[in-house]
């Protein structure tokens, strides 16, 4: 490895074992890289997210997140991978009581809590602003045609969940597991619709999970930002949790809800995402999303 090379560490985020969750690559000591070179590396890596750690100082971690096409303002599964890497490689402080850090990107800041589980693995929870429901310009019939299903299989209303300076999600509830397993997405049409209405992803879910420990089963289609379908997405699950609690679908009946989402099953990359939501007067006011990441491999990339 030359002086201009760096190690890229690949993680399966939101998965307890290799082969599940969503892949994120982590490159440390990336402060000297241009935006253009970061994008080139991310495109070459081909993962849903490649994360470049540009600084670590006084409980502040500076990171830039890239898909194969664009830079993300924030990335849930990338955050899980980055902080797991920092614990493993840089001795980042973590204990069973959790330690808070600040994650900073060029467009956003967030609090990240890192705790050590009983098995010694770090659990990472990213605090995010709740999404806000906005009027949705499309209905069930138009969305159904993009997913290869009948309009009657969609439980209305279709939702548009927006986060300030972050992602926007088109949220669609379908009538059961058979429907979500049988989706046949038209990725080009989904891209066109998302760009037309200003959405980043099309998130489909059902409350029929077949598992009492799981709240929803979901699929997240993200071709507009470079990933046809994502196996695990923290920011999308933030939006889904907000949609659920506003419509009393989270099943707790209290001001504090925990939503456990199973995602990536249809991709043979199963993941579990935990979202904790606090509410006041039925509206989400504080939210954390997270889980664990599993290291799978390392490779060398040139910084030049």
Is the CB of residue 38 less than 8 Å from the CB of residue 30?
A: yes
Please classify residue 187 by burial: count the beta carbons closer than 10 Å to its beta carbon, then call 0-12 exposed, 13-18 middle and 19+ buried: middle
Taking each helix axis as running N to C, give the angle between helix 234-246 and helix 76-90, from 0 to 180 degrees, rounded to the nearest 10. 130
Query: Cα–Cα distances in Å, from 227 out to 70, 88, 195?
Result: 11, 28, 14
Q: What's the confidence (pLDDT) of residue 250?
A: 80
CB 275 within 8 A of CB 237: yes
Please choose, from the candidates 122, 103, 120, the residue with its C-alpha nearest in 3D space to the C-alpha of residue 112. Answer: 103
Which pLDDT score is estimated for 1? 56
Q: Which of 178, 173, 181, 176 is nearest to 144 (CA)?
A: 173
| pLDDT tens digit sequence for 85-132 | 999 998 887 777 889 999 999 998 999 999 999 998 999 999 998 999
> What is residue 2's predicted lDDT score, i.e. its pLDDT?
62
Q: Which residues of the chain carry a pLDDT beneath 50?
A: none
- Half-sphere exposure of 195 toward its Cβ, with a 13 Å CA cutoff? 10
Q: What is the pLDDT of residues 37-61, one digit of tens each?
A: 999 999 999 999 999 999 999 899 9
Task: State the residue for tokens 């599940």.
Answer: 20
The three-class DSSP label of residue 70 is coil
What is the model's pLDDT at position 44?
A: 93
CA gap 68, 63 in Å, rounded: 16
Q: How far apart are CA 115 and CA 125, in angstroms?
A: 9
The predicted pLDDT at position 279 comes to 85
């Amino acid at each position: 490895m030359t002086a201009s090379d760096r190690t890229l560490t690949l993680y399966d985020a939101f998965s307890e074992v290799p082969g599940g969750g969503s892949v994120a690559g982590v490159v440390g000591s990336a402060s000297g890289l241009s935006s253009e070179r970061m994008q080139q590396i991310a495109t070459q890596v081909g993962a849903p997210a490649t994360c470049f750690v540009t600084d670590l100082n006084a409980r502040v971690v500076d990171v830039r997140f890239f898909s194969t096409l664009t830079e993300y303002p924030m990335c849930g599964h990338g955050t899980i991978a980055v902080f797991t890497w920092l614990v493993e490689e840089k001795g980042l402080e973590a204990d069973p009581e959790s330690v808070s850090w600040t994650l900073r990107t060029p467009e956003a800041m967030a609090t990240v809590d890192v705790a050590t589980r009983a098995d010694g693995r770090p659990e990472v929870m990213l605090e995010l602003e709740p999404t806000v429901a906005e009027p949705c310009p499309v209905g069930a019939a138009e969305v159904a045609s993009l997913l290869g299903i009948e309009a009657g299989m969609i439980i209305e209303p279709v939702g548009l969940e927006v986060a300030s300076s972050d992602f926007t999600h088109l949220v669609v509830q379908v009538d059961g597991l058979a429907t979500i397993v049988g989706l046949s997405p038209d990725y080009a049409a989904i891209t066109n619709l998302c760009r037309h209405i200003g959405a980043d992803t099309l998130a489909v879910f059902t409350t029929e999970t077949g598992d009492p420990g799981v709240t929803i089963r979901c699929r997240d289609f993200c071709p507009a930002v470079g990933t046809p379908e994502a196996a695990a997405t923290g920011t999308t699950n933030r939006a889904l949790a907000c949609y659920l609690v506003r419509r009393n679908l989270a099943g707790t009946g209290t001001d504090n809800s925990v939503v456990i989402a199973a995602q990536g099953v249809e991709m043979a990359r199963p993941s579990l995402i935990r979202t904790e939501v606090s509410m006041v007067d039925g509206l989400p006011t504080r939210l954390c999303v997270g889980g664990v990441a599993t290291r799978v491999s390392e490779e060398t990339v040139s910084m030049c």
